[in-house]
Amino acid sequence: MTGTVAPSPADGPAATVRRTTAMVVADTDSYVKWGAAVLDGLPGGWTADLVVLLSENAPSEAQLATALAGTSRAGRRVRMLRLPDLVAVVTEHTPDLVLVATRGPVARVVLHALSRLERRPVLVSGFPGISWPATRQAIDYRAQADLVLLHSHREVESFSQMAEERGVEFRAGLLTLPFLRTAASGSSEVRNEVVFAVQSIVPKALEDRRAVLDMLAEYAQRHPRHRVVLKVRAVGGERQTHDEPHPYTELLVERGESPANLVVEGGPMAEHLQRAVALVTVSSTAILEALAAGVPVHAIGDFGVTKRLINPVFEHSGLMGDRRRLLAGDFRPVDPEWARLNYLHPSEDNDWHEHLEALVEQRRREGLPLRPRAVPALGGALRLAWERQRALGRHGSTPLGIVALAVGYPLYRAAKLRQRISRRLRRERPDELAV
């Protein structure tokens, strides 16, 4: 990865052509998928590499293949690096830009490490799906990024407002969710699948997940000409962005006899949508993939509308419905105004290229300042070692990190307990505690 390329004879002996270089660092299957798709949408003339940062949630080879399907990285080898190796590679190759496509705690560690390099790269981060409304943690984890990629007008407004309240300097770039660019490409001659997009922790409660499975089984019984596909992202102990406490595959076995047309399958979502008559889920980003591909959607609303379910964003979309609507196959179109404000805006609204090019030019001209953390690292090196150990597990282990974990974990659990007790007291005695 170099900053210049050799001149052609026509350019003359002194001519050089400046090439903008980028690196994508991902840590889980969903972030690999997102990072590779962002990479493919970089401005013309850019070159980029993609690596996976080793952590406890690193994807398997099969997950990597699925995540990279349909991108320019499909079928290509992906390097797996520990954090010190990543820092060494960035130091040696000096890319103009590094996209930190990782979960929040990992992003904080990587951004901190790369921000202290001499003549550091432009640091960019973002999210692989729906990120509305903004949260304090999401902003704090990525405070040292020069640019955060967001995917809707509502996200940009929400994050900008919260960052201002937090006193964090924040720059957002609007980017259509990259895998929506190709969602409508290709179609199968046979459309007979009702695809259920499995989510690891939505809904989380065991009884709710059993209820979802019962709904799908009843739909399969009522509509025998449809294949009802439980579309999973991990099999056989593979890790995901979020661990799945009650896998549907296990609940299906536990349930006993089920309709023959209720099946479990993996593979790229885009391929399933080519065969789909409808997509069903609670709040998965797959809803947006389906809408972009012209596939009707049913967002299950039987468990309420809460931040925990990641579904408040779908209010007023026209997509949410109850069990009766699902069983009747009553799949409705999306509200056009909701679509414009939420992820399906016109492509000319996107401004991320302009932000990237301005930041790269600033780096080349004058360098980039050290951006502060949102929350100071009280405890110094011990605190930083604790964050690294927590984020990367055994792949981030250092002697200081092991000490920090031994010392810090009991304190961390005690602080969490105090927070839970405080929240409970506020609920039980709101008048007495109000001041």
Whether omega before 133 lies within 30 degrees of 0, making that bond cis, reads yes
**pLDDT tens sequence across 330-356:** 998 899 999 999 999 999 999 999 999
In SS3 terms, 348-409 reads as: HHCCHHHHHHHHHHHHHHHCCCCCCCCCCCCCCHHHHHHHHHHHHHHHHCCHHHHHHHHHHH
Question: Taking a C-beta distance cutoff of 8 angstroms, is the pair 22, 47 a contact?
Answer: yes
Q: What is the pLDDT of residue 9?
A: 36
- Residue 292 CB-density burial (10 A; 0-12 exposed, 13-18 middle, 19+ buried): buried
Residue 285 belongs to what H/E stretch? none
For residue 7, the model assigns a pLDDT of 35
More confident: 355 or 427: 355
| Nearest by Cα to 180 from 199, 152, 154, 148 | 152
Query: pTM for the complete prediction?
Result: 0.83
Task: Assign 179 a pLDDT band (cuts: 50, 70, 90).
Answer: confident
**pLDDT at residue number 245:** 83
pLDDT at 426: 62
Q: How many CA atoms lie within 13 A of 142 on its CB side?
A: 27
| pLDDT band for position 431 (cuts 50, 70, 90) | very low
Tell me the pLDDT band of 262, cut-offs 50, 70 and 90: very high
Calpha distance 369→332 (Å, rounded): 49
Residue 305: helix, strand or coil by DSSP? coil
pLDDT tens digits, 237-257: 555 555 688 999 999 999 999
Q: Which pLDDT band holds residue 375 (cuts at 50, 70, 90)?
A: confident
Q: Count CB atoms within 10 A of the CB of residue 207.
A: 8
Under the banding of pLDDT at 50, 70 and 90, the label for residue 226 is very high
> CA 123, CA 26: separation in Å to the nearest integer?
13
* Residue 403 pLDDT exceeds 80: no
d(CA 67, CA 62): 9
Unique residue bearing structure tokens 């709710």: 208
Mapped onto helix, strand or coil, the DSSP state of residue 334 is coil
Cα–Cα distances (Å) from 59 to 27, 54, 62, 324, 424, in that order, read 7, 9, 8, 37, 38
Closest to 119 (Cα-Cα) out of 381, 355, 362: 362
Q: What is the reported pLDDT for 6?
A: 35
> Average model confidence (pLDDT) for the chain?
88
